[in-house]
Chain A
Amino acid sequence: DTGVSQNPRHKITKRGQNVTFRCDPISEHNRLYWYRQTLGQGPEFLTYFQNEAQLEKSRLLSDRFSAERPKGSFSTLEIQRTEQGDSAMYLCASSFFGRSETQYFGPGTRLLVL
């Protein structure tokens, strides 16, 4: 069990560019969650998957955000036409729904939009 991994760990981009983040969950986990954390705040829910199905999206997830989990394993979060307000830490977590609903977090991807 290698834990949840996220890549890249840091990303600096210019306003208007597109960025994509990747999350690899714990291998047997069927649920995968994305959260966003801004400085001095707790994480906020963005979206989650059960296997490959995206079951819920927060109102925080504007049309510029899209997430996929194509084979029910890793997931990607893409932000198009980035804005300075997108600067945050993007956290991924996974869990095994039906056995233990405890979410285990990755180290996060810190995004800075200039």
Chain B
Amino acid sequence: AQTVTQSQPEMSVQEAETVTLSCTYDTSESDYYLFWYKQPPSRQMILVIRQEAYKQQNATENRFSVNFQKAAKSFSLKISDSQLGDAAMYFCAPSNFGNEKLTFGTGTRLTIIP
């Protein structure tokens, strides 16, 4: 079974600044996917970014990028030029190879300070 640790329950960042959310996980599998999802208050889960574990290159999606360290089982999310709309709960979630079910961390609540 996978376990996921998001050690920062809450983070805050000034608008237009950069923030990094951390995530570590434990898995016995060698091939899997990793995801970051955001969940704004009372709204649905939205995909932020995805990383394939077999790829060494870190994924990037506009202002969002990851630092994936497979050996260390670390998968952090960097948000550049933070915007008010980035305020949400962020969840890190690796998936199982085969059934692809997601294991979620407890989340990091991100606040954007205007």
Contact = CB atoms under 8 A, between A and B. Distances in A.
Do the two chains belong together in a single complex?
yes
Given A42-B104, A42-B105, A105 B99 contact: no
Given A42-B91, A42-B107, A102-B35, A48 B99 contact: yes
Contact of B106 (A35, A42, A45): A42
B103 interface: yes
A82 B33 CA distance: 35
A43 B102 contact: yes
B95 interface: yes
B44 A101 contact: no
Interface residues of A, number: 24
Contacts of A108: 44
Contact of B43 (A35, A97, A107): A107
B47 interface: yes
Given A101-B33, A102-B35, A102-B50, A45 B44 contact: no
Contacts, number: 53
A48 B100 CA distance: 10
Interface in B92-111: 93, 95, 99-107
Interface of A: 31, 33, 35, 40-45, 48, 55-56, 91, 93, 95, 97, 101-108
Contacts of B50: 102
A102 B95 CA distance: 9
Contacts of B106: 40-42
A101 B95 contact: yes
Given A101-B33, A107-B44, A45 B101 contact: yes
Interface of A is mostly: strand
Contacts of B101: 33, 45, 48, 56
B45 interface: yes
B100 A101 contact: yes
Contacts of A97: 100
Contact of A103 (B43, B100, B103): B100
Contacts of A95: 100
A97 B95 CA distance: 13
Ranked 8 nearest A-B pairs via Cβ = A42-B104, A105-B45, A107-B44, A45-B101, A101-B100, A43-B104, A42-B91, A105-B44
